[in-house]
Homo-oligomer: A and B are copies of this chain.
Amino acid sequence: MTDAPKRQMKLGVFANPTGNHVASWRHPDAQADAGVNFAHYAEIAQSAERAKFDMIFLSDNICVREAKMEALSRSAQYVANFEPLTLLSALSVVTSRIGLVATASTSYNEPYHVARKFASLDHLSQGRAGWNLVTSALGAEAPNFGRETHFDHRERYLRAHEFATIVTGLWDSWDDDAFVRDKESGRFFTPDALHTLNHKGEFFSVKGPLNVARTPQGWPVIVQAGGSEDMMAVAAEFAEVIFCAPLTFEAARTFYDKIKGHAASRSRSADTMKILPGLAPIVGRTDAEAAEKVRHLESLTHPVVALEILSTILGGIDFSGYDIDAPFPDDLPATTNASQYVYASAQELARSENLTLREVALRMAGARGKNVVTGTPKQIADMMEEWFEGGAADGFNILPSHFPGGLNDFVEMVVPELQRRGLFRTEYEGTTLRENLGLARPGNRYVEQLTPIAV
């Protein structure tokens, strides 16, 4: 028998401006101007921090989402919002323990800027920064950066790999104790403690050193999302947290095993990578109360919006030829890999309850294809425990349906239930995101010769 403390869940909150539900902005509770309302985000971050969440997560696209205007103009998501790094920097001032994770694309940024901004955020927050490394997902981003089309999938991740190599190299530009700042002798830093990267690679050439001191966490925590082989090759080496969106326990467990296997192939132990499936909870004190909350959100959803999102999560299907009040069509054209699970779920749902296209759209698009769990705190905690203990998750990225109500419900009802079960902390373990996630602080490659020095 060991005295090892019980393994506990890690929790993130996905801070889509007004919430995860497509109609969230119309909810009576909602701050419809969330995208320009700092006080709103401060409230979310502070609530999540009071509940001891590990981190707040800001997704990002570098464009206005493309959609038919009738649908787009009824949406609050991925239209116009604060830029994540500026917003998290401001949030660092009104929080003290919660991790601050921003998304930045390796396809449309320079590694020096990304290394620098996240390092700066890590200093501002005293060790709470995380970088969600993405390769960009939307076609509309490319033309904002001088390209007609996106890089192809494989090239995207080859660039991402080199990009992460550079960023982490720049984060090691200074030894932890480089800055002696000795007023007496006049020595500000130790000359030997400065390291120049001199990277020349296939896609980037970056000399360095970085003009930010090594950060409290050594490196900000690296997060990734996705699931392709290309993505896993990068994640195996760099990712410390994985966001994913499986819709069933089986899918989650398969993904969990696969990506931890990738990490193992790089000699990483399983607990150096935390897998957090997305979870969109709708919590009620009773089943009926929870069901009523779902119905309310559905009633706020415009069918045009629902159909547009359903089309998007099904890989871009064009529904314009279909009757919205006819049974869900069983002759949909082939979709992309990424949306196959979603497609199967939609068909399953339609068959089992005999639903029309409109009904499927309202049901599935509401949560934007995320894994919704509706019920009492006990039911939701049961599902989370099952995934967590069953090898399908190290925790969850919580997508509240709307802010602040959807988050408050989870915080007030589900978090205490998880704590009672010993599945979630009642106090932060440390002051940095790494400490709370149970991730080691990386040594400096130049000091510890952990990896060959890049030339």
Contacts and interface: CB of A to CB of B under 8 A. Distances in A.
Interface of A: 23, 25-26, 28, 30, 32-33, 35-36, 38, 61-64, 69, 73-76, 78-83, 85-87, 89-90, 92-94, 108-110, 112-113, 116-117, 119-121, 123-124, 140, 143-146, 173-174, 179, 181, 183, 186-191, 194, 204-213, 300, 302
Contact of A183 (B26, B83, B174, B181): B26
A188 B73 CA distance: 6
Given A25-B183, A174-B80, A189-B79, A86 B120 contact: yes
Contact of A211 (B62, B121, B205): B62
Which applies to chain A's interface (DSSP): helix, strand, loop or mixed? Answer: loop
Given A61-B211, A211-B63, A179 B33 contact: yes
B117 A109 contact: no
A82 B120 contact: yes
Q: State the copy count for this chain.
A: 2
A218 to B, nearest CB: 14
Contacts of A25: 181, 183, 188
A361 to B, nearest CB: 15
A93 B92 CA distance: 10
A211 B78 contact: yes
A32 B181 contact: yes
Given A74-B186, A81-B211, A143-B205, A124 B93 contact: no
Nearest to A42: B93
B87 A124 contact: yes
Contact of A109 (B32, B62, B74, B113): B113
Contacts of A144: 112, 206-208
